[in-house]
Each structure stands twice: as C-alpha cells, then as structure tokens.
Amino acid sequence: MTAIEDLVARVAAKARATSTTLPAVATAEEVASAEAVLGFALPPLLARLYREVGNGGFGPDYQLLPLIGSGRTALSEYQCERSASAKEETPHWPAGVLPILDWGCAMYAAVDCHSETATVLLFEPNAMGDDRATAWFVDAGSLTEWLETWLADTGWYREDAYEDEDVAEPTPWESAAARIAE
C-alpha cells in the first residue's frame, strides 16, 4: 500500500466514523466533467477523495463541500468567487484555487490546484484591506499535511486549540498578490 492509499483509507475510516450520512462518491466521469468546467485538473489526492471517500460531507468542522451536485458545491463556489472577483476593481480570487470547505463568516479552506503539493489556503476576507492579498493565508503546505492535521485532531480550528501552544497558525500566503494578478 502506498502512502497515498494509506492516507485515503484513513480519511475514509474517519469519515465513516464521524459522518452520520456520508454522501455517495463522485464518479470518474463527474470528476472529469467538473475539471472540464473548471478548466484545470484537480490534484490527484483531492480527486481520489471525491471518488473514493465521498462527494463531500467529511473533514474538519463544517466538512468538505461536494464537488458537484445541487446546491452549494466546490464547483459553484469557485465560479461564484471568480465571477465576483472579476467584477471588482481589485480582484480577490486567484485562478486555480478551489474552495473545498466553508468555515463560515465568508471564510474558506481552498486548494491551490496549480501548486505541485496542492497547498491548502485559508481565505479570510475579514482580514482584507485595499490589498486583497491580505485575505490569503497558507493553512498547510499540502493537502496531505492538512488531512494529517485533521486525522490527528491538531488543527487551529479545534474548539480548544487556543490552549495548545504547539498549534500551527495559518501564515500569510506570499504568492497571493502575484496569483491574483495573473
């Protein structure tokens, strides 16, 4: 078993243990269709999660958005954010950054689908000034790291995380301004 296969298996086990009704998985055709609409490929690990664990409904706190389907999805939220960003004098949402989890208060966990490691970003618009890049933070250097944090229950988003001095806080995304400007 490869490290990724092991990770997917552990995520699936925790998803089944923590979700009362885990959605059906997305088919390979549905993932391919979503990628065609997005105009970019999902990182392989993210695609596997949607195909092998569930079409959303698992993960930290508010759980992953479904990739496709009715209602709010990662696909529809990406299209909405990109459209709104394009209409602004100063855009805020970079291409290829897919929102995968809504933290509430307009905050998202998002995967940079253009990065080799599938960096997980935090979009925190409440921190946004005139420079829209200030709303972007690196939550984890990779999707693998982000999932391991969830599996270990060591994320900054835990209710009692403020009591733990070792909890890694998101840091400013240094590439945000350049990526937004692309």
Domains of the chain by residue range:
3-181
Give the residue from 137, 155, 135 showing the smallest Cα distance to 146: 155
What band does 147 get if pLDDT is binned at 50, 70 and 90?
Answer: very high
Distance (Å, rounded) from C-alpha 141 to C-alpha 129? 24
> Can you give the pLDDT at residue 133?
85
What band does 62 get if pLDDT is binned at 50, 70 and 90?
Answer: confident
Distance (Å, rounded) from C-alpha 102 to C-alpha 80? 13
Q: What is the pLDDT of residues 1-52, one digit of tens each?
A: 799 999 999 999 999 999 888 999 999 999 999 999 999 999 999 999 999 9
The 3-state DSSP class for residue 103 equals: strand
Beta-carbon count within 10 A of 34 CB? 20
Ramachandran area for residue 5 (φ above 0: left; ψ -120 to 50: alpha; else beta):
alpha
> Can you give the pLDDT at residue 161?
55
Average confidence (pLDDT) over 145-150: 96
Distance (Å, rounded) from C-alpha 72 to C-alpha 40? 20
Give the residue from 146, 54, 52, 66 showing the smallest Cα distance to 98: 66
Q: What is the pLDDT of residues 93-137, one digit of tens each?
A: 999 999 999 999 989 999 999 999 999 999 998 866 667 888 999
- Determine the topology of domain 3-181 in CATH: SMI1/KNR4-like (3.40.1580)
